[in-house]
Each structure stands twice: as C-alpha cells, then as structure tokens.
C-alpha cells in the first residue's frame, strides 16, 4: 500500500529523534519554547534517544539549552514547556523503543516526526514508525545534509517515500527560514520596477557571497567530511540562486513557489572543473579532527550558467569561505553600462564610472541598496558613485527553526525543499565533488586563493564590506 498524502490538520504531537544531540540543544529546544510562548504549540513533545536518560534529565537539558541558546529561562514559559515534554529512551533498531513511543503518543493521530539524526538512520526510524502505525497521517521533518551526492540523495528519497507521501516530507534547510532570505522572494515579486530589468538584457552578472571570518570552530571532524561545497553551497547558496533566477509563481501557494524554484535549479548547467576554484586556509590541518593530508575545501568559488531564455549568457557566481575578512552574506546584481557614454568621464580617475547595481545584504545586518551615479559638485560633468540604501531591522524576528517547525506543524511546505529541487541541486555540483579539482592554499583574512581570479566576474569580485557599512 502506498503512503497516504498528508491531511490539513495541525500536528497534535511533536516527536524529535536525537533529543540528546547537539541540534536539539542549540536549535530545537529554543524553537519549541518560542512556539509554546506564542501559544502555537500545546501538544505533547516527545524526545527519543539512546542515552540512558530520564524525563527529568531531558527537562534539565532543555533548561540548559534555553540558558545558553534561547536567551534565558522564563520560569512561567518553561513550566508550560516542561508540562508538554515526554521522553522515550531506547535504540532505534529495537522494536521495543517504538512500542514505548506508541504508548507515549496516546491518542495523537497527526504527529510531526523530527529526524535530528544522521541520514544513515532515516530508513531505520521510518520503518520503526511504520511498524506502530504512526505514519499514515503524520509528517516528517528531515535535516540537511540530505545525502552526500546525487546517488545518496536519491536513495534517501526512495527510503522515505516507501513510508511517507511526498507532501508529508519536510526537508528542512534552516537558511530558507531566515527573514532576509524570505524577503528576497517578496521583494522580487511584490514590486513592479524590477521585472523589466531582471533579465539578460540589463543584468551583466550576479554574485552571491557567504563569508565567515572564523574557522571550523571545533567542528573539524564534521567539516572534513563535508567541506564548503556540501556544507553551504549545494543547499543554502543554490537555494538563494534559485530565488534570484526563478520565474514569477502563479500564486503565493507553496506548490507554485516551489515549482518555479525547482525549474530554476533544473536550468543550471552541471558544473565543469573549469568553473570551480577550491581553497583551504593555512592552518586548517592543525584543527582537531582534520586529516593531516586533507584536501577538503574551506573556500569555493563557482561560475554557474543558467540555460533558459531569461538568463542565457548571464553568469552567476557563488562564493563561500572560512577565515575570510568579514562575516556576512550578500547578493550583488551587476547591471550593464548604458549603451552610450553621454558624459566623457575619465576612466583613469579615482572614481571611474561603474554600472548600476543592486545589493541585497542578508546577514548580519539587513539592507537593500541601489548603486547609482550622481554628478559631483563643480563645473565639470564628472560623476561619483552613491548608494541608495533601505535598511530593514524588524523587532521580534522569528528564529528560523521556530518559523519552520510552526510551518511543518501546519503542513505549509513553502520554505521546505522538494525532492526534485534537492536532486536538481545535487546534479549541479555532482561532477565536481570529491577533489576533482585541486585545492589551493590561502592566507587567513584574505578573500581566498589568488587562483579564484581565474573565474572572476566580468566586473571583478565585489567583496562585501564589513557589517555596518554599505560599500
């Protein structure tokens, strides 16, 4: 019997596997507390893990999580969260664990199962849930990394689809739950002035940069298995590229938006080695957990080609790296020069004429700016570059995991990746995974290896300014 499609009911229980793990500690407990505080969650919350814990241990772990990552403990709110918590201790391979979970679920008919566990355990846990009839009207949230390459992603999809219908599977990428990333989608399609110029006739190139001014921060063993391409580029940055490149959805409903994102990803040509430069900061091998001869990249730059009518001939460049000069993420859309120079500005001057651009700063500060030219004071018709900046600092912004967990409980898949989009993103990077290209050393505090100039954008790399500045 094929899995049933999800029902519109709000989830009446939350089960999170991996309740004693790092993700639960840093993200899930604070999100659950926020949902309880807002009155959006009043259902049993059942943690499952193999740790020899009791319910009191889980509550103590939740309190510690909120103290360190949730902005502190409000006793009234924490009392409400504690009253909802349940705990099942046991091995995921042991059928008894799932029998105990069935008892803990009680009369819940529409549970939300959160897999905060390694992908290698997805199939085991999904089968265990099926054995206790806890899947037919359920939803499941699975964490990235969703596979290590195209083949493993397809295998994970097959394993989940044996038990859950596609519209019951919520593949979480917390980056898509960030307010500034959502604003990209809104800004593009809620304003009419962008559409006439958002194409190959006016756009010269697009750059997407995710820079971090720190290293692997004690995550050497994990990072040495992933690297920059698997960690943030195949998922976060390709999803941002899809938001920039996608066609207008026919409506605001989740399927219409995800249809267009998937089509944008499918239009990106699979990468060739000539379109990729990888780097590794000096000192990476000294990080705990890193192999002595590791060739894993801590920096990567890619040149993407979108093979459709709108973007033919417009390269999209994405960069990500650790130990770079700043910590920030931004999208830089370089427009073309006017067709004719009316004013004979001196290209050798300190402020040569540059084409207009749009800059979307996504973190840590949030702004949208338009780069334009204005006349310098004086008799000569010489110009200077100015930025028109709109800052956006909303108070009380939702945490990404709070937003995504709330959406999953209500069956809203708009911010979750669909099977075809996940596989399309893997098809883009699959040809250049696993050290197909050389890795070049770079000094900490620089913008990656000099070899990245080999695939430089037509107008050069636009290195993001430090937080608090716009250029």
Distance in angstroms (rounded) separating the CA atoms of residues 78 and 56: 13
- Tokens found for residue 76: 């009234």
Local structure of residue 398 (DSSP, 8 states): P
36, two tokens = 């309880």
Angle at 290 between CA 284 and CA 291, to 5 degrees: 110
User: Dihedral of CA 93/105/174/52: which sign?
Assistant: negative
Q: Cα angle at 432 between 428 and 437, to 5 degrees?
A: 150
| Residue 411 backbone class (left: φ over 0; alpha: ψ -120 to 50; beta: rest) | left
Cis before 288? omega within 30: no
Taking Cα atoms as reference points, which of 307, 369, 388, 355 lies closest to residue 204?
Answer: 355
- Rounded CA-CA distance 54/94 in Å is 18
Partners of 90 in the beta sheet? Answer: none
Among residues 113, 236, 392, 410, which one is catalytic? 236
C-beta separation of 359 from 332 below 8 A? yes
With beta carbons less than 8 A apart as the criterion, state whether 166 and 34 touch: no
Taking CA atoms, 466 is separated from 245, 285, 357, 442, 444, in Å, by: 26, 28, 18, 20, 16
- CA 120 from centre of chain: 21
Any catalytic annotation for residue 285?
Answer: no
Q: Say if residue 385 is preceded by a cis peptide, omega within 30 of 0.
A: no
Catalytic residues: 236
């Amino acid at each position: 019997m094929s899995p049933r499609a999800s029902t519109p009911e709000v989830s009446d229980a939350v089960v999170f596997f991996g309740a004693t793990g790092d993700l639960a500690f840093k993200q899930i407990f604070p999100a659950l507390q926020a949902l309880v505080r807002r009155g959006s969650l009043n259902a049993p919350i059942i943690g499952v893990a193999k740790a020899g814990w009791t319910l009191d241990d889980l509550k103590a772990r939740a309190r510690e999580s909120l103290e360190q990552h949730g902005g502190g403990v409000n006793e009234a709110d924490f009392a409400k969260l504690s009253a909802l918590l349940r705990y099942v201790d046991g091995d995921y391979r042991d059928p008894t664990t799932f029998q105990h979970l069935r008892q803990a679920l009680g009369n819940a008919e529409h549970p939300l199962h959160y897999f905060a566990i390694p992908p290698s355990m997805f199939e085991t846990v999904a089968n265990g849930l099926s054995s206790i009839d806890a899947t037919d009207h359920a939803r499941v949230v699975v964490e990235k990394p969703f596979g290590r390459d195209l083949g493993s992603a397809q295998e994970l999809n097959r394993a989940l689809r044996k038990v859950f219908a596609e519209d019951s599977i919520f593949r979480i990428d917390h980056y898509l739950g960030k307010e500034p990333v959502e604003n990209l989608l809104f800004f593009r399609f809620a304003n009419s002035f962008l559409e006439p110029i958002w194409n190959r006739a006016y756009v010269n190139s697009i750059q997407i940069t995710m820079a971090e001014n720190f290293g692997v921060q004690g995550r050497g063993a994990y990072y040495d298995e992933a690297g920059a391409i698997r960690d943030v580029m195949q998922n976060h940055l390709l999803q941002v590229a899809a938001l920039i490149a996608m066609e207008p959805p026919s409506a605001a409903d989740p399927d219409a938006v995800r249809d267009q994102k998937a089509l944008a990803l499918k239009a990106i040509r699979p990468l060739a080695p000539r379109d990729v430069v990888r780097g590794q900061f000096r000192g990476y091998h000294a990080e705990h957990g890193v192999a002595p001869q590791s060739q894993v990249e801590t920096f990567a730059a890619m040149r993407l080609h979108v093979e459709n009518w709108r973007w033919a001939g417009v390269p999209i460049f994405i960069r990500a790296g650790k130990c770079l000069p700043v910590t920030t993420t931004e999208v830089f859309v370089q427009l073309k020069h006017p067709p004719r120079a009316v004013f004979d500005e001196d290209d050798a001057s300190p402020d040569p004429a540059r084409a207009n651009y749009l800059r979307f700063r996504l973190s840590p500060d949030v702004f949208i700016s338009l780069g334009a030219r204005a006349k310098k004071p004086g008799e000569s018709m010489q110009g200077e570059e100015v930025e028109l900046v709109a800052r956006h600092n909303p108070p009380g912004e939702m945490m990404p995991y709070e937003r995504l967990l709330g959406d999953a409980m209500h069956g809203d898949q708009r911010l979750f990746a669909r099977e075809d989009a996940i596989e399309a993103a893997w098809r883009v990077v699959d040809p250049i995974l696993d050290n197909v290209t050389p890795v070049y050393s770079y000094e900490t505090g620089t913008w990656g290896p000099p070899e990245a100039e080999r695939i430089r954008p037509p107008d050069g790399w636009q290195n993001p300014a430090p937080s608090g500045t716009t250029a």
